[in-house]
Structure 1
Amino acid sequence: MADLAKILGENIKKARQAAKLTQEVLAEAISLDSRSISRIERGNALPSLSTLEAISITLNVGLGELFEGMTKSKSEIAQEIESLLATLPAQKQQGLLELVRSMVRIAK
């Protein structure tokens, strides 16, 4: 959660500053106190979905923008999967491969 909270907080802070709003003004606009905004921006707290939506609307940014930097590239994902699989015996790797194939067929 720490990484998620930090990145989200930094993105909210950047968007707030780009909108030229203080923490106090943002807090008042979304019915929070400025301490809560400060904690969110520092990554010490995660906002609720309704608060996140209110922040997005008030700052006139899409929710996706607030989550920028949290997704991994395809190569990063593949590398992480490979590292995780390498810790397992070959038989378990094969079983997981079959599971993933099934999941991909269902997802299409």
Structure 2
Amino acid sequence: MKRQDAAHEVGARVREIRRATGISQMDLAELATMHFSNIGKIERGQANPSLSTLARIATALDTTVAELTSGVTAVHVPARDRQVTVRDLLRAREEQLARDAEPGDAEPTPAPTADAPPDPAPGDGDINADAEPPPADHAPASAPDPPQGHPPRASGAPVPPPEAEPR
């Protein structure tokens, strides 16, 4: 199956709807505040209109952007080496979670290297190991307020406040 370009598909829909309304490309261009040559390029699939352009055309044709893009699917998108959809991504994640959950296949925790000492057990040398957590309504200490006034100049001298303009 030959891939169709999305711009050709949208252009064909614009032309179809425009002709059904009985207006010319010049009329549509005027209604959509566009140059008539751009309407022709869009209808021939030689231009890839932006979303705002499609909205102006749809409004002028008394339709919706959804109607202009109806039927545009992955078949209309240029081929890529690897095309992945959200369904493919979610399936791969589920398969990975299933593999990770299989018993006996867990990889052993790597042994500590000479560069990094082993993590201490809870309570080993941790002075706060037995301390109770602060109450939920206790807010942590906040950072001090930034200095007021204007930032210093590159020379270090503060920038004077601006003069008030007379009314």
Query: Aligned pair 1:10/2:12, yes or no?
Result: yes
Deviation string 1:25-62 (CA, Å, 9 cap, x unpaired) is 00111121111100000000012222111111110112
Q: 1:44 aligns with which of 33, 43, 46?
A: 46
Long gaps (5+) in structure 1: 73-83, 86-92, 103-108
Deviation string 1:4-32 (CA, Å, 9 cap, x unpaired) is 10000000111111111100000111121
Structure 2 counterparts to residues 67-106 of structure 1, below 5 A: 67-71=69-73, 97-98=92-93
**TM-score (normalised: structure 1):** 0.64
| Structure with the higher helix share, 1 or 2 | 1
**TM-score (normalised: structure 2):** 0.43
Contact 2:32 2:59 in 1 (8 A): no
Long gaps (5+) in structure 2: 75-82, 98-167
The structure-2 alpha-carbon separation of the partners of 1:71 and 1:28, relative to structure 1 and needing over 3 Å to count, comes to same
The structure-2 alpha-carbon separation of the partners of 1:100 and 1:3, relative to structure 1 and needing over 3 Å to count, comes to farther
The structure-2 alpha-carbon separation of the partners of 1:97 and 1:45, relative to structure 1 and needing over 3 Å to count, comes to same
Count of residue pairs brought into register by the alignment: 81
**Which is greater in Rg?**
2
Q: Distance in 1 between matches of 2:49 and 2:95?
A: 33
Alpha-carbon shift at residue 100 of structure 1 (Å): 7.9
